[in-house]
């Protein structure tokens, strides 16, 4: 098996799993209980929160644990919308994750006007378009920091400046970016940030929303006073512990890891070039503007779903990022956004996403099967 789908999810690392295990059946007390067993798990949550905050340069009180990135983004956008009674506009982009796009669509039904910024062929927003849309009626700008499909890393500092000038909130979806590019939340000075642990060898079902100190949000889930009244429900202690451990491990040797992933990416593209395979790399060139390890490829006249199936049969796991409606398989909205002409996006795209376990033989296997598939035609 050659797992090249690390942007979809990652395996839980042994260290993370080991850190989580005691909190399933040894230290299982409710963190709200005032006895030894509950105190133990409360302490574990507090320590995990401090570890995460320290690694991301935030204050522990600014983190709210959620079930993952999607809930974090919902919490931010809906929480702002529900608590705001003066501003009626939201700005986002056409290449957001569905967590953002579908939440924005929902908020449209409540009367909010949502503007979807266009992107260029590499997936970058036009800062002038953003500037022109920002008004004193803009509630929030929601931007994906590193695109999950094509890897585009937006110019966050410039976006932040524009938001500041317009006195609007800035929410950043950093789900794919964490442990791939350096993140210093206070230096970035964003208002909200969505995070998900399973993208960096933590467990699925845990994430967080960073909320800058002083900002009030309406909670999505009402009940007990957990998370300082911002997210009710008994805390998922083992997963919170696993989240912190995964982030701790993922932030280690980040520069070396990024270089390694870029080297692997270049190796893959060079192998395709050597073999004379025609392809298009969707998104920016490998380097500082692209998420390390993300390689999104279109092979002309090759149906991406058919190729993905062929690779699956050969034990090579990649993704197409397609979506479905009731009767059609839709080419990814991100690919459509960067190539609006049907001729340019009709073949779809294959996303190869490398990770900590990737080896040269995984890439060789991928290239070899792509060649087999193309030669079959």
Partner 1 sequence: MANKVKITKQGKVIYEGNILDIPIKEDFIIKKSIEVFDDDDPCIIHQSFVIKEYTNELLDLLKESPNGCLEKDELKDKIAFIDFTDIEQICIQLLE
Binding site residues, partner 1, CB under 8 A: 302-303, 305-306, 309, 313, 322, 324-329, 373-374, 376-377
Residue whose entry in the numeric block shows the structure tokens 């909320």: 211
Cβ closest to partner 1, residue 226 vs residue 298: 298
Give the span between the Cα atoms of 143 and 141, in whole angstroms.
6
DSSP 293-317: TEEEEE-TT--HHHHHHHHHHTTEE
User: Minimum Å distance from CB 377 to partner 1?
Assistant: 2
CA atoms within 13 A on the CB side of 88: 5
CA atoms within 13 A on the CB side of 312: 9
- Find out whether 320 and 308 touch, Cβ atoms under 8 Å: yes
Cβ closest to partner 1, residue 109 vs residue 327: 327
The two tokens of residue 237 are 């202690």
- Find out whether 232 and 219 touch, Cβ atoms under 8 Å: yes
Cβ closest to partner 1, residue 3 vs residue 299: 299
Give the span between the Cα atoms of 318 and 321, in whole angstroms.
9
* β-bridge mates for residue 153, sequence order: 146
- Find out whether 112 and 81 touch, Cβ atoms under 8 Å: yes
Length of the chain measured in residues:
377
CA atoms within 13 A on the CB side of 316: 25
- Find out whether 218 and 79 touch, Cβ atoms under 8 Å: yes
Give the span between the Cα atoms of 162 and 126, in whole angstroms.
12
324 has catalytic annotation: yes
Cβ closest to partner 1, residue 36 vs residue 325: 325
CA 58, 101, 220 angle in degrees (round to 5)?
A: 55
User: Minimum Å distance from CB 340 to partner 1?
Assistant: 23
User: Minimum Å distance from CB 304 to partner 1?
Assistant: 12
User: Minimum Å distance from CB 309 to partner 1?
Assistant: 5
Cβ closest to partner 1, residue 184 vs residue 330: 330
Cβ closest to partner 1, residue 24 vs residue 309: 309
Question: Among all residues, which ones are annotated catalytic?
Answer: 324
């Amino acid at each position: 098996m050659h797992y090249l789908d690390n942007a979809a999810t990652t395996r839980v690392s042994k260290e993370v799993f080991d850190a989580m295990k005691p909190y399933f059946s040894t230290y299982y007390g409710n963190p709200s209980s005032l006895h030894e067993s509950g105190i133990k798990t409360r302490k574990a949550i507090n320590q995990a929160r401090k570890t995460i905050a320290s690694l991301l340069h935030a204050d522990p009180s600014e983190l709210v644990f959620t079930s993952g990135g999607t809930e974090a983004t919902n919490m931010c956008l809906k929480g702002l919308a529900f608590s705001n009674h003066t501003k009626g506009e939201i700005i986002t982009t056409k290449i957001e994750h569905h967590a953002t796009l579908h939440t924005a669509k929902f908020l449209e039904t409540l009367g909010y006007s949502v503007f979807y910024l266009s992107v260029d062929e590499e997936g970058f927003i036009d800062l002038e378009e953003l500037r022109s849309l920002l008004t004193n009626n803009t509630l929030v700008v929601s931007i994906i920091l590193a695109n999950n499909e094509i890897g585009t890393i937006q110019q966050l500092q410039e976006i932040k400046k524009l938001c500041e000038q317009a006195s609007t909130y800035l929410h950043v979806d950093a789900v794919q970016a964490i442990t791939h590019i350096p993140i210093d939340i206070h230096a970035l000075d964003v208002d909200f940030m969505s995070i998900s642990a399973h993208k960096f060898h933590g467990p699925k079902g845990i994430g967080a929303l960073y909320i800058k100190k002083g900002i009030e949000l309406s909670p999505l889930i009402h009940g007990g006073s957990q998370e300082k009244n911002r997210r009710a429900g008994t805390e998922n202690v083992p997963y919170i512990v696993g989240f912190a451990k995964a982030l701790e491990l993922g932030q280690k040797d980040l520069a070396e890891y990024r270089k390694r992933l870029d080297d692997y990416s270049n190796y893959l593209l060079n192998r395709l070039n050597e073999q004379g395979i025609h392809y298009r790399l969707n998104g920016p060139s490998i380097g500082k503007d692209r998420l390390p390890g993300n390689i999104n490829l279109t092979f002309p006249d090759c149906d991406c779903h058919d190729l993905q199936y062929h690779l699956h049969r050969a034990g090579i796991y990649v993704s197409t990022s397609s979506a479905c409606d009731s009767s059609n398989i839709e080419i990814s909205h991100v690919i459509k956004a960067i190539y609006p002409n049907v001729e340019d996006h009709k073949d779809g795209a294959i996303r190869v996403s490398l990770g900590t376990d990737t080896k040269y033989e995984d890439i060789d296997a991928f290239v070899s099967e792509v060649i087999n598939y193309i030669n079959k035609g």
